[in-house]
């Protein structure tokens, strides 16, 4: 008997980077998920076995990392151990982590891992963790993964699923957030994975802070414009007005590009998608590579997919606005 938990990756329709500095973001959960299987064992350690990052082992009693094949996995091991300690778990267990979310791509692979690990561990401790509680547990580890700063938007999106408007009201660990569920919508998107790996800490922890230091006015004005775009997008989403939504996405992309957050391969995919009939296209997440996505009419999905594939990027046709974290006992 074990526990199976899963959480979705996310896209930012609007507001990445600006959200770290108190402006609103609109995120949506996508149909690419991370799955965690928890099996108890007879050891006094937690063993992590990740398809993408290899293995790690951490002591349950003192939190010492016994072994780790990857630095990113160490952060997950530390999170798993802290969660086990919080729920007073003294029995060892193994976490097998398999992810359909491309890593270091801006699709929130780390958030999907944290949320699914927390879901599995809380269920192992026979605690029903309310979805509203995930945020404060995951936030400090996500901030670390992002280079010391994070908006926390993706945690809300991965936990609750669907479409969410999120704004950081007050800094802190965790910060105070305002979050609004934006209802169910059937939008058609194609994600393009540029295959250019871009760890979030490069732009969040290094590039954007360096811009702010040199020209705070420029960055603040750009973030205020993004905030106004996200605000206008609320009506477009409410009315399922995909034409207006696409235009707003293009405006948001122009501003991100002006801040040096795009990448030649992202631009290649975005321009190709727009030429193939997409209503709007933008990078999503940290930028400098990773993913972009295009919003399309249903009849244009095939041609946009083909156009993205012709650039050499990986086109991913996926549902958007899917279910958040799920946890169930399982016979495996
Ligand atoms: C990274 O996926 C999204 C950023 O806005 C950072 C964050 O929100 O924490 C760049």
How confident is the model at residue 146, as a pLDDT? 86
pLDDT in tens, 77-113: 999 999 999 999 999 999 999 999 988 888 999 999 9
- Between the CA of 272 and the centroid of ligand 1 the distance, in Å, is 25
Mean pLDDT throughout 157-172?
96
Q: Specify the pTM.
A: 0.96
Write the CB contacts of 244 (distance below 8 Å, at least 6 apart in sequence).
232, 235, 236
Average pLDDT score over the chain = 96
- Between the CA of 127 and the centroid of ligand 1 the distance, in Å, is 30
287 touches 265 (CB < 8 A): no
Q: Is the pLDDT of residue 120 over 80?
A: yes
Q: Which atom of ligand 1 is nearest to the CA of 149?
A: 9
Q: To test ligand 1's pocket by mutation, which of 113, 141, 146 has the most ligand atoms within 8 angstroms of CB?
A: 146
How confident is the model at residue 1, as a pLDDT? 78
Q: Is the CB of 287 under 6 A from ligand 1?
A: no
pLDDT in tens, 171-190: 998 999 999 999 999 999 99
194 touches 263 (CB < 8 A): yes
């Amino acid at each position: 008997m074990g526990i199976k938990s899963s959480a979705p990756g996310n896209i930012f329709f609007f507001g990445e980077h600006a959200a770290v500095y108190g402006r609103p973001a609109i995120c949506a959960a996508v149909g690419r998920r991370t799955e965690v299987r928890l099996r108890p064992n007879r050891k006094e350690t937690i063993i992590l076995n990740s398809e993408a990052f290899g293995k790690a082992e951490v002591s349950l009693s003192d939190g010492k990392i016994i072994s780790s094949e990857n630095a990113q996995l160490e952060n997950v091991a530390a999170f798993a151990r802290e969660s086990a300690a919080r729920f007073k778990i003294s029995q060892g267990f193994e976490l097998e982590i398999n992810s359909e979310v491309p890593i270091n791509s801006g699709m929130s692979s780390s958030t999907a891992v944290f949320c699914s690990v927390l879901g599995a561990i809380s269920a192992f401790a026979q605690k029903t963790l309310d979805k509203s509680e995930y945020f404060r547990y995951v936030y400090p580890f996500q901030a670390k993964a992002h280079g010391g700063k994070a908006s926390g938007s993706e945690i809300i999106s991965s936990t609750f699923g669907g479409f969410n408007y999120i704004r950081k009201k007050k800094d802190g660990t965790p910060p105070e957030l305002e979050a609004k569920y934006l209802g169910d919508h059937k939008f058609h998107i194609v994600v393009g994975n540029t295959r250019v790996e871009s760890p979030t800490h490069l732009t969040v922890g290094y590039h954007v802070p360096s811009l702010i230091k040199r020209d705070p006015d420029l960055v603040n004005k750009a973030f205020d414009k993004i905030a106004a775009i996200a605000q206008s997008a609320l009506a477009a989403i409410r009315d399922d007005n995909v034409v207006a939504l696409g235009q707003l996405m293009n405006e948001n992309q122009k501003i991100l590009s002006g801040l040096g957050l795009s990448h030649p391969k992202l631009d290649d995919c975005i321009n190709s998608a727009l030429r193939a009939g997409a209503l709007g296209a933008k990078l999503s997440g940290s930028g400098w590579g990773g993913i972009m996505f295009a919003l399309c009419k249903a009849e244009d999905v095939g041609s946009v997919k083909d156009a993205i594939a012709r650039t050499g990027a990986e086109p991913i046709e996926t549902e958007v606005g899917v279910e958040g974290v799920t946890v169930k006992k399982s016979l495996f």
